[in-house]
Structure formats: structure tokens, C-alpha cells
């Protein structure tokens, strides 16, 4: 009697990053938002070669000139080319996003991990401090920090970054407390892993998905608050081509030279819109229920 042995086909394991990349490419929101963010990043990188004029060059003779062949979207109140200033403004926008979000995410994640994985005393001290920070309105806390450090681009970014720490800390702490009770964490502990190995090797990777989603939504909000500080005269100072500062300098010409207000406002709107819909795409892709 002959026994036929049928070989089973090998199991192909697809890396998780490739699965996430494929789902991102299938998400219309993620693709559109990613393209907008990519365009902003490319403009920031190649600004010296793309900008048609010097963004700081003053030309009083051609002040408030409407859009035309020489200046595609017009000039501002002192004759500077608006298109060049918008292009260079992408650098300030991305810098604000990077610095504010880095401060908030780094400090908030560390506090959340320590609170969620630490002793009840440590958790109580950290979370009561977070509660005190949350008792202050967001914009009031930002204004207090700016008032103490003085108005500038860097103090504005630090202020917005500090104000965003409680949100990250509460999110990470709640996620850590949930993950700590899962069976796979108990299994890893039973195998002899210490608490540090469990925290960074098992718990933290499972915190990353909600953290990335929150990061995608909190980053454009931070940029908007920083621009609002510039609009109030407490953030970036002239003559830096930052979009919020450009808005405050041209707001008095809303009806006589609408392009001077529309250009930075539209740039800010499109960039934040792109980040928001990219965040929507990331939420749909990284949500474990999908």
C-alpha cells in the first residue's frame, strides 16, 4: 500500500509594516492627507530653489500689489513677495509642528508610562499634577508660559508643547493600565521577564497605535495654537514669514488688499486640513476593530 504524502504550502508571513502600508494606500483620506503633507515638506526642503523672490526683500514701490505676472499672489504691506513668504513659511509651520509635538509627546508618554506602571503613590502624585494642569484652560496656560518667558517663536513652541502634555499623559496611562491586565502580559511575567522588560518590550508597543493616532490629531492643533499666538503678537515676531504673523500684519488690509490676508490663511487651512485627514486615515488603519 502506497501512502501519498501531500506537502502543505509554506505559510507566508507578511510583515506588519507592509500590511499597514497597504491599508494606508487603500485609504483615500490617508492618501490625500499624505500628499498634502508631502507637498508642504517638499516646499520646506526646496524653498531656496522654488521661491521666485527673496522673502525678506522690501520694495515699498510695489507694496500691496495685486496678483500678477511678477508676483503670482501679490505683495504684502511693505512690498515683499507673498508667494515666496508662503513657501518659506512651510519651514516655520513644520518646525512648530515638530517642536511642540515632540515636547508634548515625549514628556506626556514618559509621565503616562511611569504613572500607569508605577506604584499607587507615584500614580497619584503624577495624575494629581496632571489634573492641576488640566484645571487651567488650554489657551490660558499657553499665555501664562509666554508671559513668563517672553514672546518669541521658541517660547511660543515651548508653551504650546507644555500645554499639550496632559493629553498624552492621560492617554498613555489609561492604555498602560488596560494592557497590564491582558493575559499575554501575565504570560511574559510568568516566563521571568522583569517589569522594565515588560514595560518597554510588551506594554509600550501596544500603546503606540493609540499614541500615533492622538499625535496625528494633536499636531495640527498645536500648529494652530502657535499661529494664534503669532496672530496675537505673542509668538513669531516680524519679519519672519510665519503664516500667523503674516495674518496679523495684513489684517488691516482685509478689504483693500484681500490677497495679503487670503494667502497665509489659505496656506494654514490647507496644511492643517491635510494633517487632519491624514489623522483620520491613520485612525481607520491602526484601529484594531477594523
Q: How far is CA 72 from the centre of its chain?
A: 30
pLDDT at 42: 94
Strand partners, 81: 75
Q: Which residue has the higher pLDDT, 138 or 32?
A: 32
Examine the pLDDT at 27 and tell me if it is beyond 80.
Answer: no
Examine the pLDDT at 290 and tell me if it is beyond 60.
Answer: no
Average pLDDT, the chain: 81
pLDDT at 19: 65
Angle 224-45-239 from CA coordinates, rounded to 5°:
55
Q: Which long-range contacts (CB under 8 A, 24 or more apart) does 239-243 make?
A: 239/56, 239/80, 240/92, 240/153, 241/55, 241/56, 241/84, 241/85, 241/86, 241/88, 241/89, 241/92, 242/89, 242/92, 242/93, 242/96, 242/153, 243/86, 243/89, 243/92, 243/93, 243/267, 243/268
Question: Packing angle between helix 82-117 and helix 28-45, nearest 10 degrees?
Answer: 120
State pTM to two decimals: 0.83
Q: Where are the domains of the chain?
A: 26-47+84-286
Question: Packing angle between helix 258-286 and helix 243-250, nearest 10 degrees?
Answer: 150
Segment among 28-32, 117-121, 142-146, 240-244 with least mean pLDDT:
142-146
pLDDT at 177: 83
Examine the pLDDT at 2 and tell me if it is beyond 80.
Answer: no
Sign of CA dihedral 159, 160, 161, 162: positive
What are 197-210's pLDDT values in tens digits? 777 777 777 788 78
pLDDT at 9: 56
What are 68-92's pLDDT values in tens digits? 888 888 888 888 889 999 999 999 8
Q: How far is CA 120 from the centre of its chain?
A: 32
The domain over range 26-47+84-286 is classified in CATH as 3.20.20.70: no
pLDDT at 287: 62
Q: Residue 66: CB partners within 8 Å, gap ≥ 6?
A: 74, 257, 259
| 3-state DSSP percent of the chain in helix, strand and coil, to 5 | 75, 0, 25
The predicted model gives 17-26 an average pLDDT of: 70
Q: How far apart are CA 196 and CA 211, in angstroms?
A: 20
Q: Which residue has the higher pLDDT, 33 or 139?
A: 33
Angle 186-191-197 from CA coordinates, rounded to 5°:
75
Site of grid cell 506602571? 117
Examine the pLDDT at 65 and tell me if it is beyond 60.
Answer: yes
Site of grid cell 518597554? 200
Phi, psi of 198 (to 5 degrees): -65, -40
Amino acid at each position: 500500500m502506497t501512502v501519498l504524502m501531500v506537502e502543505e504550502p509554506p505559510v507566508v508571513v507578511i510583515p506588519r509594516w507592509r500590511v499597514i502600508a497597504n491599508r494606508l494606500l487603500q485609504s483615500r483620506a490617508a492618501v490625500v492627507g499624505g500628499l498634502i503633507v508631502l507637498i508642504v515638506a517638499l516646499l520646506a526642503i526646496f524653498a531656496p530653489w522654488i521661491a521666485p523672490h527673496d522673502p525678506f526683500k522690501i520694495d515699498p514701490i510695489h507694496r500691496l500689489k495685486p496678483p500678477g505676472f511678477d508676483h503670482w499672489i501679490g505683495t504684502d504691506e511693505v512690498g515683499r513677495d507673498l508667494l515666496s513668504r508662503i513657501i518659506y513659511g512651510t519651514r516655520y509651520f513644520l518646525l512648530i509642528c515638530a517642536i511642540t509635538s515632540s515636547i508634548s509627546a515625549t514628556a506626556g508618554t514618559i509621565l503616562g508610562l511611569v504613572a500607569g506602571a508605577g506604584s499607587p503613590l507615584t500614580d497619584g502624585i503624577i495624575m494629581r499634577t496632571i489634573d492641576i494642569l488640566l484645571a487651567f484652560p488650554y489657551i490660558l496656560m499657553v499665555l501664562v508660559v509666554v508671559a513668563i518667558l517672553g514672546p518669541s517663536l521658541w517660547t511660543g513652541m515651548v508653551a504650546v508643547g507644555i500645554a499639550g502634555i496632559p493629553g498624552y499623559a492621560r492617554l498613555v496611562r489609561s492604555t498602560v493600565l488596560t494592557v497590564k491586565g491582558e493575559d499575554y502580559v501575565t504570560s511574559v511575567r510568568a516566563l521571568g521577564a522583569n517589569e522594565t522588560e515588560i514595560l518597554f518590550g510588551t506594554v509600550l508597543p501596544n500603546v503606540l497605535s493609540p499614541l500615533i493616532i492622538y499625535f496625528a490629531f494633536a499636531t495640527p492643533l498645536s500648529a494652530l495654537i502657535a499661529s494664534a499666538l503669532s496672530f496675537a503678537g505673542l509668538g513669531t515676531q516680524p519679519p519672519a514669514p510665519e503664516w500667523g504673523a503674516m495674518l496679523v500684519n495684513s489684517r488691516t488690509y482685509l478689504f483693500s488688499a484681500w490677497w495679503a490676508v487670503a494667502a497665509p490663511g489659505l496656506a494654514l487651512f490647507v496644511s492643517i486640513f491635510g494633517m487632519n485627514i491624514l489623522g483620520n486615515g491613520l485612525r481607520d488603519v491602526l484601529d484594531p476593530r477594523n
